[in-house]
Amino acid sequence: MANTKDVIKGEEVTLEIQPGMNILEVNKKLAQKNMELLRKHNVKAIDIMGSIGAGKTCLIEKLVQALKQKYRIAVFKGDLTTTIDAERIRRHGVQVITINTGRECHLDANVVARAVERISLEAIDLLIIENVGNLICPAEFPLGTDKRVVVVSVTEGPYMVVKHPFTFMNADVMVINKKDLAETMKIDTKQLEKQVKEIKPDVKVAVTNALSGEGVEELIKALEL
């Protein structure tokens, strides 16, 4: 079970917002501060976004397994109320902090700053953040990471890219996951790749099976890790 120190509850979180301040602007400033702090300590950080069940946690497990010899890793896991994913990731021997957001459908730079206070930045080189499962809300709230990843799975159908352009405009890497189910779902991953490149020409794309680990090396390259 998680130590209570490893769980941050949504109700503890307060954003210091003055009347008239724009919440997105405040978040941007806090994200900048997070980025400066992480860079000062040479910690690379990655924000992993994507819809519910797209395979974010499975991919993080595979990334941790592949990278834990090379980097000292910590993971922040955003979830409404549970610590289920945190337990899954913790099995791989890395420090995990759960950020329970309550009713919020995304993490923000403020809660991430709170979580950063609970880890020793001297003791890590890589911070992986699993955002709350949602393809829309997290995009508007940068956290101060070096890279932003959007995970989609072929089981979400053929239109998730064209229907959510704003999410992909903010992404450095798109993962098309569950490639083992592409044929059954009649999804052409090349078509999804073409669509995302029309929205964000420099986005990198990795096509993965997060259960077998196929494509994870491609993802690691796309993340420049």
Ligand X SMILES: Nc1nc2c(ncn2[C@@H]2O[C@H](COP(=O)(O)OP(=O)(O)OP(=O)(O)O)[C@@H](O)[C@H]2O)c(=O)[nH]1
Chain contacts with Mg ion (rule: CB under 5 A): 56-57, 85
**Minimum separation from the CB atom of position 89 to Mg ion (A):** 9
Q: List C-alpha distances in Å: 175 to 95, 150, 168.
A: 24, 6, 11
The dihedrals phi and psi of 131, each to the nearest 5 degrees, come to -75, 170
Q: Considering only the stretches 9-17, 32-40, 94-102, 176-184, report the one whose residues sit in contact with ligand X under the rule CB under 6 A.
A: 176-184
Residue 181 binds which entry of Mg ion, ligand X, none, CB below 5-8 Å type-dependent: ligand X
Residue 180 binds which entry of ligand X, Mg ion, none, CB below 5-8 Å type-dependent: ligand X
Q: Is 53 among the residues that bind ligand X (CB under 6 A)? A: yes
What the block records as the tokens of 146 is: 């070096």
What the block records as the tokens of 78 is: 């955003």
Q: Is 167 among the residues that bind ligand X (CB under 6 A)? A: no
Residue among 125 and 180 whose Cβ is closer to ligand X = 180
| Footprint on this chain of ligand X (rule: CB under 6 A) | 50, 52-58, 85, 133, 177-178, 180-181, 209-211
